[in-house]
A and B are shown apart, each in its own frame.
Chain A
Amino acid sequence: MNTGYKSCNTDSCAERRQLLYEISKIDFVLKELNLYLDTHPYDQQAMEAFKHYNMAKNKMVTEYTEKFGPLVLSIVDMDCREWKWATQDWPWEGGYN
């Protein structure tokens, strides 16, 4: 039977899904570089790549937070009417991620 996963087909949903996918993809590259650097700690090229992707990810996370809601507690857009960190859906629901 259907899992009841709430699919959303508006433009805003599609933009949110796409941005979250891009963040996950870049963060994955960062994780791979992180593990590689743990065993290759003097690889300058890898460190430069890490720096580049880290800046890209931070920029995207800030954009996502402003448009849709928080992903990390260290970047929370303080809209004092609602503590979105808790009230928005959680990722295991399968909505956006």
Chain B
Amino acid sequence: MWNYEKRLQFPVKITQTNPQIAQVIISQYGGPDGELAASMRYLAQRYTMPYNSVAGLLTDIGTEELAHFEMICAIVYQLTRNLSPEEIAKSGFDKYYVDHTLALWPQAAGGIPFNACEFQSKGDVITDLTEDLAAEQKARTTYDNILRLVKDPDVCEPIKFLRAREIVHFQRFGEALRIAQENLDSRNFYAFNPEFDK
């Protein structure tokens, strides 16, 4: 089960609002390659994972991603705090605001709402770990894209931190795949699915 620590994993202290960049960064909350999708993906895949240390890794990274979407929400919240109706109208943030005011709601930058179709738990060890490797790279690419657009150092610092975490997670999922391979026959890794076949 989960406990909560009353702090962010990495500080977020933004002094200048910027609704334009908030609309872009929200993709790392509700977008297909965002932190919420990552968390739900790993936490869903862990139940049928037959190797304890890999189930442990999925739990621990899945939990860390919850702290990451909390940071993204704090960034978007601070970037849109105290906005006036004029600033909202001028920035293009009006389309989000009309349905949600200044509340956080998980959607991609383009408007597609968060949904479970954005991730998979396929129930095959190799497939799910390969999906997870891809997920971390997609998240890293999204952060690269954000870093090209953001100039405010108060925003860059937490974004760079989150990007670095994706690379570490990629390494760990790669190691988890190596663990899975060691438990399978290297003459044919695909002979059976250890999550299902007897």
Contacts and interface: CB of A to CB of B under 8 A. Distances in A.
A and B touch in the complex (CB under 8 A): yes
Interface of A: 1-5, 20-21, 23-24, 27-28, 31-32, 34-36, 38-41, 70-74, 85, 88, 90-92, 94, 96-97
Interface residues of B, number: 38
B159 to A, nearest CB: 15
B17 A34 contact: no
Interface string B50-82: 000100110011001000001001100111011
5 contacts: A2-B16, A23-B7, A28-B9, A71-B5, A72-B6
Contacts of B64: 31, 35
Interface in B73-127: 73-74, 77-79, 81-84, 87
B79 A3 contact: yes
Interface of B: 3-17, 53, 56-57, 60-61, 64, 70, 73-74, 77-79, 81-84, 87, 168-169, 172, 175-176, 179
Contacts of A74: 3
A76 to B, nearest CB: 11
A3 B179 contact: no
Contacts of A21: 11
Given A1-B87, A39-B57, A72-B3, 12 more contacts: A1-B82, A2-B17, A23-B7, A24-B10, A35-B57, A35-B61, A38-B53, A73-B3, A91-B7, A91-B8, A94-B11, A96-B7
Contact of A71 (B6, B10, B14): B6
Question: Lowest 7 CB-CB distances: which A-B pairs, in order?
Answer: A92-B74, A39-B175, A38-B57, A94-B13, A97-B7, A3-B81, A4-B82
A34 to B, nearest CB: 6
B72 to A, nearest CB: 10
Contacts of B70: 91-92
B56 A38 contact: yes
